[in-house]
């Protein structure tokens, strides 16, 4: 063990982002929260946004507040487009959950008008469950078949893995930009290019990358994408998700859920459904305004902080975590299960251990460290750069080491809790 807490504190002292942490609610500074990739911390200003929305918007304005609220899905979408994902205004809209948006886009991209007879959806066998389930459900209800990509568990799907499964019957490729388990960052530009060359559309899930790393959807010529706002965007539990459709595809894709918010002329209450002309055609029904107004706070904070700075700190901080893990944890049965090249990973570091589940429980019970556990043997340390300190990384890793050395996990049950 050579790295010291003083070194971590030194890195914090010169961190250009160090003051951003003060804008978040941190009630117990001795609890080390390294699960912001699952649920981001609460911006203090979220309380005021909720209060204003409830008191003034709902309480006082009542239904007249809709004059303002009706624009919110689109205006937050425009912020995400221009500040966070490298897209144009009008290409992103906030609505529904990531799961539902994935369904809407995958369904639209595989409708008969789009596929020209192609019948295969390519997906990652190890992708986040909801992504796989949504596509399984879509295939079960249509003529599409699924083709799974197998890849290295740490590095995730590489361009050559995708090239191997592409053929002229592939209509759509669905992949996560950053892998939820390993943290591997996929090569978006190259994989998108290869898929297009084979005649397929590509849908990227940005849930674990948006807010942590710069994304260039337009530059990569991405067709469609979805993303989550309660992870690195700190939008709050269950905050509505977003979806992106490249401008030239908007008139071609028709979503499967025909709701009144997607209607061209919503308030004429016409008999027949006619889709809106732009990205609004992918809205469905009344949006959750309270959640949306709260999520806007976190989204605007990340936009203001700036992704170049955030990415630089995330890369340096995850390097620091890996260095510490090598020093303190490699003799205790742990293995780093995240790409070692900072350019090939997102903003979390995964540690593999045979007893990962019980260790993750012991950390919460006895060490005041909150990571998360992912089946079958992974502890994830989420390191959102906007509020995580190098000292937190130091504490997380050294407390993991002392918990395991003391055998504090050994008396616990390996039966899984309802939420892991
Ligand atoms: C977090 C996450 C989701 C979340 O989906 P919900 O609909 O919000 O439950 C979806 N996909 C991926 C890859 C995720 O990481």
Separation of 251 CA from ligand 1 center, angstroms?
27
Rama region for 24: left / alpha / beta (φ>0; ψ in -120 to 50; rest): beta
Is residue 98 in contact with ligand 1, taking CB distance under 6 Å?
A: yes
Which alpha helices (H) appear in 71-166, and where do they start and end?
72-79, 98-109, 112-115, 129-140, 159-165
Is residue 101 in contact with ligand 1, taking CB distance under 6 Å?
A: no
Selection from 205, 196, 296 nearest residue 243 by Cα: 205
Question: Catalytic residue numbers?
Answer: 128, 205, 230-231, 380
Separation of 207 CA from ligand 1 center, angstroms?
6
Separation of 250 CA from ligand 1 center, angstroms?
23
Peptide bond into 376 cis (omega under 30): yes
Residue 342 phi, psi dihedral angles, 5° rounding: -60, -30
Is residue 95 in contact with ligand 1, taking CB distance under 6 Å?
A: no
Can you give the pLDDT of all 420 residues of the chain as single tens digits? Answer: 589 999 999 999 999 999 999 999 999 999 999 999 999 999 999 999 999 999 999 999 999 999 999 999 999 999 999 999 999 999 999 999 999 999 999 999 999 999 999 999 999 999 999 999 999 999 999 999 999 999 999 999 999 999 999 999 999 999 999 999 999 999 999 999 999 999 999 999 999 999 999 999 999 999 999 999 999 999 999 999 999 999 999 999 999 999 999 999 999 999 999 999 999 999 999 999 999 999 999 999 999 999 999 999 999 999 999 999 999 999 999 999 999 999 999 999 999 999 999 999 999 999 999 999 999 999 999 999 999 999 999 999 999 999 999 999 999 999 999 998
- Nearest-atom number in ligand 1 for the CA of 128 is 13
Q: Whose CA is nearest to atom 4 of ligand 1?
A: 98
From 96, 130, 174, 212, the mutation candidate for ligand 1 (largest count of ligand atoms within 8 A of CB) is: 130
Q: Which residues on neighbouring strands pair with residue 345, listed in sequence order?
A: 184
139-166: buried (b, 16+ CB within 10 Å) or exposed (e) per residue? beebebebbebebeebbbbbbebbeebb
Beta strands in 150-223 (DSSP E): 170-176, 201-205
pTM: 0.98
Q: Whose CA is nearest to atom 2 of ligand 1?
A: 207
Separation of 271 CA from ligand 1 center, angstroms?
35
- Nearest-atom number in ligand 1 for the CA of 98 is 7
Separation of 61 CA from ligand 1 center, angstroms?
34
Is residue 207 in contact with ligand 1, taking CB distance under 6 Å?
A: yes
């Amino acid at each position: 063990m050579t790295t010291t807490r003083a070194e971590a504190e030194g890195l914090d002292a010169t961190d250009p982002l160090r003051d951003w942490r003060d804008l978040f609610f941190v009630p117990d500074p001795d609890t080390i929260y390294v699960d912001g990739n699952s649920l981001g911390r609460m911006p203090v200003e979220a309380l005021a946004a909720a209060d204003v929305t409830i008191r003034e918007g709902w309480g006082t304005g009542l239904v007249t507040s809709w004059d303002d609220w009706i624009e919110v899905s689109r205006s937050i979408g425009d912020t995400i487009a221009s500040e966070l994902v490298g897209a144009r205004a009008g290409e992103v809209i906030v609505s529904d959950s990531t799961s539902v948006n994935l369904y809407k886009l995958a369904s639209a991209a595989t409708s008969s008008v789009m596929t020209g007879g192609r019948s295969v959806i390519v997906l990652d066998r190890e992708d986040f469950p909801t992504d796989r389930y949504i596509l399984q459900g879509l295939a079960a209800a249509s003529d599409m078949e699924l083709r799974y990509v197998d890849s290295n568990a740490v590095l995730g799907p590489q361009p050559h893995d995708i090239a191997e499964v592409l053929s002229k019957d592939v209509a759509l490729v669905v992949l996560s930009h950053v892998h939820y388990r390993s943290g591997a960052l996929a090569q978006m530009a190259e994989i998108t290019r290869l898929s297009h060359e084979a005649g397929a559309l590509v849908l990227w899930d940005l849930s674990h990358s948006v807010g942590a790393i710069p994304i260039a959807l337009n530059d990569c010529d991405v067709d469609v994408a979805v993303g989550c706002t309660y992870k690195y965007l700190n939008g709050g539990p269950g905050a509505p998700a977003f979806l992106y459709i490249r401008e030239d595809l908007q008139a071609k894709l028709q979503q499967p859920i025909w709701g009144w918010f997607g209607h061209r002329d919503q308030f004429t209450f016409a008999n027949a459904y006619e889709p809106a002309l732009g990205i609004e055609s992918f809205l469905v029904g009344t949006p959750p305004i309270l959640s949306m107004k709260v999520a806007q706070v976190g989204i605007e904070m990340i936009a203001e902080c700036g992704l170049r700075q955030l990415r630089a700190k995330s890369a340096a901080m995850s390097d620091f975590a890996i260095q510490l893990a090598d020093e303190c944890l490699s003799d205790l049965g742990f293995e780093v299960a995240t790409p070692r090249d900072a350019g090939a990973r997102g903003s979390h570091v995964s540690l593999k251990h045979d007893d990962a589940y019980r260790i993750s429980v012991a950390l919460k019970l006895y060490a005041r460290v909150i990571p998360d556990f992912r089946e079958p043997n992974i502890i994830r340390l989420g390191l959102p750069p906007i509020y995580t300190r190098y000292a937190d990384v130091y504490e997380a890793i050294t407390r993991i080491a002392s918990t395991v050395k003391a055998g504090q996990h050994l008396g616990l049950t390996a039966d899984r809790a309802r939420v892991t």
